[in-house]
Amino acid sequence: MSTLNNFWVIFLLILSISADAFCCSIKGFHLVRNISELPQDDYGMKGLSHITVAGSLLHGLKEVEVWLETFSPGTGTPIHRHSCEEVFVILKGSGTLYLASNTHGEFPGTPQEYSVFSNSTFIIPANDVHQVQNTNEHEDLQALIILSQPPMKPYIYEDWTTPHTAARLLFPVFWDKECLEGTSDKDEL
């Protein structure tokens, strides 16, 4: 290979590394970031605002992920389950946690209902089917959501009678997909 060709190969290599680093890796973002200035989107889900505060695909985390999500009145998460640990810290508003802890049946069944409120916290047990809804018609529900084993691999239920075997894997989730290109898919599922 000529010297000129070598130059272009190295140049393009550097360019591709820089591009990756800028968008989606730990080298490409300011260490201290203002959450108010982070990108937020509804990702096609009306009433949602999602911000990845600290993430696997965006920031290179391997063991935890932190989201800030805001749900307008009447909206919420899908009915879903996942094998990772999840902690909610409610920052604003109030709503309802629906949790079906019966993992031995063929489908979740009628969930238990828990009131959640500003300054409350709760842990979702691994693999329990759950949904968090803003059931307060007067204000938004905002929560910090902490997850292990990123990126999340949720199984989505149509309703509480959907058999566990019919729940659909949603992967990748709606956000941060732009970072999936160029990453290894080893161990993702």
Q: Which of 33, 168 has the CB closer to its own copies? A: 33
Please, what is the minimum distance in Å from the beta carbon of residue 145 to its own copies? 11
Interaction of residue 34 with its own copies, rule CB under 8 A: yes
Q: Which of 121, 161 has the CB closer to its own copies? A: 121
DSSP SS3 for 75: coil
Between CA 47 and CA 61 the distance in angstroms is 28
The 104-123 contact track toward its own copies, x by CB under 8 A, reads: ----------xxxx-xxxxx
- Residue holding tokens 């730990």? 26
Interaction of residue 53 with its own copies, rule CB under 8 A: yes
Phi, psi of 111 (to 5 degrees): -80, 160
Between CA 90 and CA 51 the distance in angstroms is 15
- Beta strands 79-81; 112-117: pairing state: unpaired
Q: Which of 143, 167 has the CB closer to its own copies? A: 143
- The residue within the footprint of its own copies, chosen from 9, 15, 17, 35 (CB under 8 A), is 35
Q: DSSP for 137-156, please give it.
A: TTS-EEEEEEEESSSP--EE
Q: Which of 17, 35 has the CB closer to its own copies? A: 35
Site size toward its own copies (CB under 8 A) is: 36
Structural contact between residues 107 and 161, judged by C-beta atoms closer than 8 angstroms: yes
How many other CB atoms are there within 10 angstroms of residue 63's CB atom? 9
Task: With contacts defined by CB under 8 A, name the span among 42-50, 62-70, 158-166, 181-189 that binds its own copies.
Answer: 62-70
Give the DSSP letter of residue 90: E
Interaction of residue 145 with its own copies, rule CB under 8 A: no
Binding site for its own copies (CB under 8 A): 26, 31-36, 53-54, 59, 61-64, 66, 84-85, 87, 89, 97, 99, 114-117, 119-123, 125, 144, 146-149
